[in-house]
Chains A and B, each alone.
Chain A
């Protein structure tokens, strides 16, 4: 793996919504880079463009201008036919509302991306067992989403995002539907896996506590990057207070 080339390179992206009468500029000349193995968080108030940015990077939405490169490949130029394969091979997703399929068990939800990728059934079973053990959901594998807690559901979603070993894991408010204990367990696991496996994580959140687990935080305001802070060697609680300070300057949602 060439560590000199950034994994993700976002260059001057813009995103407009609406029609000729009313145009909303959701993203305005946003540029940043993410290195391999980095855990980056994007913060901002409601309507600042966090989720739009994540959607543009994850190919769920298209950009109005600018480019997004993943390992040097311009993902804004990928055709509609190839986009699904690109997502399957390169990206992993975690959403606030879990996005698990209710009709599948947790085991099957985790296995789903592998079945789409035509991985042999035996290998699927082994990989699911391995990741479930790592995320401590082995006991609940045979259960359906409605039979488990929110924390277990989100760990299942995380396992599903990790199972294909994607280059980039994208999380949109992953703790938004969780209680504080479940949120802490999940973030701890994300952080550990980031360090152990060098998984690159890009997380959107408006929660300072959640963001404090990241290595670097980008602050968005009105569609522009307003600030950027690095954790470095700082303790997490110190970093947390640093985030709160930036947020107070930013003037958006101020967590309790």
Chain B
């Protein structure tokens, strides 16, 4: 009998709480898709993203906690709405433990369906994710449908933990409930934490002040030692907590007694319904706002991380660079090996020179110092200015497909990163006699296209002086390079193949260095070893950033759907009350269009309210974190202004709104029914 009743109840509930069911299904599908990445061959093919499975596991555990709470909250919320029905079971003689078992069967049934559908959808979603990861790492992806039993088992464990946690909590509540509690549960008003309008107003003002102070501390960092950011975070969390407790009473204090305002344009019902709803659900509104804030922050920060990684890649223009310390040697063996491995579009071997001058290096170091970073150059190779022959430069421009330039063999030119263009212009303008081996610098002779200069052991570091070929006769060769453009993207396996085929070639590890023999600094280069670098090797070193970006996206997705599902259930559970109010308004002479307008307006406000503070705070967090990440990722600003941060904020917001919009439309359709 109980099982029959459970099946019927589960069926009925799935209609009433369809969005909740969909959210559970989506969560399972996301979990499965991301878990399948842990066991994916594609991920295994990239040893450098070994951190991704760990990150996914940590993110999944965080999601288990958040979703466990969400399922618990939603189940309890649904049970409370069904309190009268439970009371009827109780007074019909069904003992509490049997009712608990009934609820357990119901939830298990809903959970099993959500799990099965989730796994099915997750299988499709995992293919999409593999495609994204493959394209991120420049790997050709062949669509194939593969079911990962390991991922399904792991997802089952996570999901089971979430559901059991929630059911156990609710069973406790049912076992203690009395028929009286259940019968009058719906009549009980939610507990108000603030009973006095004045205290609410004071709290509201304090909250706004705290929020402003938090934003100020985070954006300006007046102390500059990290404590200000910490204090800012604390202030913003306090702001969110207090905001929803105080805002309804503040609004009532502010507008409730202004007859002129409230009696106009059908504001009265809207205003009162809105304040009543947020007052009765102030704590949950605060939690929703925190979930949305985290979601927006994660996706904003994830986008910023992705943009930084892409910018880094953009600066590295050669697919392969083979580096030989000191004088150029014969790269033909490498060229042959490369041609055998994959189609090579073009390649060119040349050298980077140096002398004892450092006029441009000083300007570069000063420019770096002015951005708050350390201008100290620890690499032995970059203690002086670096040079390149005009003929080499012309050839490199040609193979890169850059616009052809006329270089006067009587003048010197500069190719540098955009951030150094102005300081170098100023230097040349200031010192008219500045020359290199007797060659003066050409006016308008600074080029700033991406040229593999952002990192060490490229075409100079941040800049390279282009000198007439004859000028290098007195200079020392720093290192020689073979720069290659390939026709297809390369992945980790290709790079490993190259290293295996070429004796004496190893991957360039910039962060592993030793003190140079002359004591002028550190160097990553060893005698008699050639190094492989370039765009795809650099990408390998950025995989952790990409992995972080994927995990942030995963967390953001789950947090958003969790919050949106709670919000929609909160709103739709009041449909009966809303219908009754609509009927009264209709009897009082309000036309159907006005009633619908009123309902839509209220729905929109309910969706907007938790989002607005979340948007402000997350914008602040993303702005700060993106700025910090840029500082640590690049030694010179590579973005000309902060518009890229706004870009990542916009991407985050658009993505968020697209998903949020689906919930809004679904709620609107259900609300109208």
Which residue numbers of A lie inside 8 Å of B, CB to CB? 58, 60, 80-81, 84-89, 93, 99-104, 108, 111-117, 119, 121-122, 124-125, 146, 160, 164
- Tell me if A113 and B588 are in contact (CB < 8 A): yes
- Tell me if A89 and B269 are in contact (CB < 8 A): no
Given A115-B263, A125-B259: A104 touches B590 (CB 8 Å cut-off): no
- Tell me if B259 and A112 are in contact (CB < 8 A): no
- Tell me if B592 and A108 are in contact (CB < 8 A): no
- Tell me if B268 and A112 are in contact (CB < 8 A): yes
Residues of chain A within 8 A (CB-CB) of B266 are: 115-116
B246-274 CB mask vs A (1 if < 8 Å, else 0) is 00000000000001101110101100110
Interchain CB contact (< 8 A) of B263 among A85, A89, A124? A124
Provide 26 A-B residue pairs closer than 8 Å at the C-beta atoms, listed in order of the A residue: A58-B587, A80-B592, A84-B586, A84-B589, A84-B592, A85-B589, A86-B589, A87-B586, A87-B589, A102-B276, A103-B273, A103-B276, A104-B272, A108-B272, A111-B268, A112-B269, A112-B588, A115-B263, A116-B585, A116-B590, A121-B262, A122-B259, A125-B259, A125-B263, A146-B189, A164-B589
Q: Is B336 an interface residue (CB 8 A)?
A: no
Which residue numbers of B lie inside 8 Å of A, CB to CB? 189, 259-260, 262-264, 266, 268-269, 272-273, 275-276, 581, 584-592, 594
- Tell me if B590 and A84 are in contact (CB < 8 A): yes
Residues of chain A within 8 A (CB-CB) of B588 are: 87-88, 93, 112-113, 116, 160
Interchain CB contact (< 8 A) of B589 among A60, A102, A116, A121? A116
Residues of chain B within 8 A (CB-CB) of A146 are: 189
Residues of chain B within 8 A (CB-CB) of A115 are: 263-264, 266, 268
Given A121-B259, A124-B259, A125-B259: A99 touches B587 (CB 8 Å cut-off): yes
Min CB gap A112→B, angstroms: 6
Residues of chain A within 8 A (CB-CB) of B264 are: 115, 121
CA distance A87 to B276 in the complex (A): 28
Given A103-B276, A124-B263: A84 touches B591 (CB 8 Å cut-off): yes
- Tell me if B276 and A88 are in contact (CB < 8 A): no
B586, B589, B591 pick with most chain A CB within 10 angstroms: B589
Given A103-B276, A108-B268, A115-B268: A89 touches B589 (CB 8 Å cut-off): yes
Given A111-B268, A112-B268: A117 touches B591 (CB 8 Å cut-off): no
- Tell me if A101 and B589 are in contact (CB < 8 A): no
Min CB gap B174→A, angstroms: 28
Residues of chain B within 8 A (CB-CB) of A164 are: 589
Min CB gap B440→A, angstroms: 81
Residues of chain A within 8 A (CB-CB) of B587 are: 58, 60, 87, 93, 99
Min CB gap A89→B, angstroms: 7
Chain B residue with Cβ nearest A80: B592
CA distance A164 to B588 in the complex (A): 10
Contacts A84-B589, A85-B591, A103-B276 known; list 9 others, CB within 8 Å: A89-B589, A101-B269, A111-B268, A114-B263, A116-B266, A116-B590, A121-B259, A160-B588, A164-B589
Min CB gap A111→B, angstroms: 6
CA distance A113 to B275 in the complex (A): 21
Interchain CB contact (< 8 A) of B584 among A81, A88, A101, A121? A101
CA distance A68 to B273 in the complex (A): 36
Chain B residue with Cβ nearest A58: B587
Min CB gap B361→A, angstroms: 71
CA distance A175 to B356 in the complex (A): 105
- Tell me if B592 and A99 are in contact (CB < 8 A): no
Residues of chain A within 8 A (CB-CB) of B260 are: 121-122
Chain A residue with Cβ nearest B261: A121
**Complex A-B, nearest 9 residue pairs according to Cβ-Cβ distance, in ascending order:** A88-B589, A84-B591, A121-B263, A103-B272, A103-B276, A121-B260, A87-B589, A113-B588, A121-B259
Residues of chain B within 8 A (CB-CB) of A119 are: 263
Residues of chain A within 8 A (CB-CB) of B591 are: 81, 84-85
Min CB gap B590→A, angstroms: 5
Chain A residue with Cβ nearest B276: A103
Chain B residue with Cβ nearest A164: B589
CA distance A93 to B260 in the complex (A): 26
CA distance A80 to B273 in the complex (A): 26
Min CB gap B576→A, angstroms: 13
Min CB gap B49→A, angstroms: 54
- Tell me if B259 and A104 are in contact (CB < 8 A): no
Min CB gap B601→A, angstroms: 15
Residues of chain B within 8 A (CB-CB) of A87 are: 586-589
- Tell me if A104 and B269 are in contact (CB < 8 A): yes
Residues of chain A within 8 A (CB-CB) of B276 are: 102-103
CA distance A117 to B588 in the complex (A): 10
Chain B residue with Cβ nearest A124: B263
CA distance A100 to B259 in the complex (A): 19
A101, A102, A146 pick with most chain B CB within 10 angstroms: A101
Min CB gap A107→B, angstroms: 9
CA distance A74 to B592 in the complex (A): 21
CA distance A170 to B189 in the complex (A): 32
Min CB gap A69→B, angstroms: 20
Residues of chain B within 8 A (CB-CB) of A104 are: 268-269, 272
- Tell me if A101 and B272 are in contact (CB < 8 A): yes
Residues of chain A within 8 A (CB-CB) of B259 are: 121-122, 124-125
CA distance A120 to B268 in the complex (A): 13
Chain B residue with Cβ nearest A97: B580
Min CB gap B166→A, angstroms: 31
CA distance A84 to B592 in the complex (A): 8
- Tell me if A117 and B263 are in contact (CB < 8 A): no
CA distance A81 to B589 in the complex (A): 11
CA distance A80 to B189 in the complex (A): 37
CA distance A104 to B584 in the complex (A): 13
B263, B268, B273, B591 pick with most chain A CB within 10 angstroms: B263
Residues of chain B within 8 A (CB-CB) of A124 are: 259, 263
Given A124-B259, A124-B263: A117 touches B268 (CB 8 Å cut-off): no
Residues of chain B within 8 A (CB-CB) of A93 are: 587-588
A86, A112, A146 pick with most chain B CB within 10 angstroms: A112
Min CB gap A185→B, angstroms: 24
Min CB gap B191→A, angstroms: 15
Residues of chain B within 8 A (CB-CB) of A84 are: 586, 589-592
Residues of chain A within 8 A (CB-CB) of B590 are: 84, 88, 116
CA distance A81 to B590 in the complex (A): 11
Min CB gap B597→A, angstroms: 13
